[in-house]
Amino acid sequence: MHKALTDAVDDGLLQSNPADRAKAPKPGRSSNRELRFWEPHQLARFLRHVQGTPLQPLWHLAAFTGMRRGELIGLRRGDID
């Protein structure tokens, strides 16, 4: 990404490279958070439980698209085909 932005500066498309201001992560620092997810049978049970509720479409969208919470909450009726 840094190279592509540098090329854009060289081509006159950008005045400066915003990646130059980014701070690199410190070595050896990583998230200690354990990934948690539902097994398929757990998801199926949950989806059966929410069947017929007003938020059922939202839960299905979340389950089958991998959208993040903020993306789901930010949706408006006009965003959905």
The tokens describing 22, both together, are 């980014």
Confidence check: pLDDT of 37 > 80: yes
Residue 44 lies in a domain: yes
Residue 67 belongs to some domain of the structure: yes
In whole angstroms, what is the distance from residue 68 CA to residue 81 CA?
Answer: 19
pLDDT bracket for residue 11 (50, 70, 90): very high
Which stretch of DSSP H or E encloses residue 55? none
3-state helix, strand, coil in the chain (%, to 5): 50, 0, 50
CA distances from 15 to 3, 23, 24 (A): 15, 20, 22
- The domain of 50 spans 37-81
- pLDDT tops 80 at residue 42: yes
Residue with tokens 């854009």: 8
**pLDDT tops 90 at residue 59:** yes
Whether 61 maps to a domain, the answer reads yes
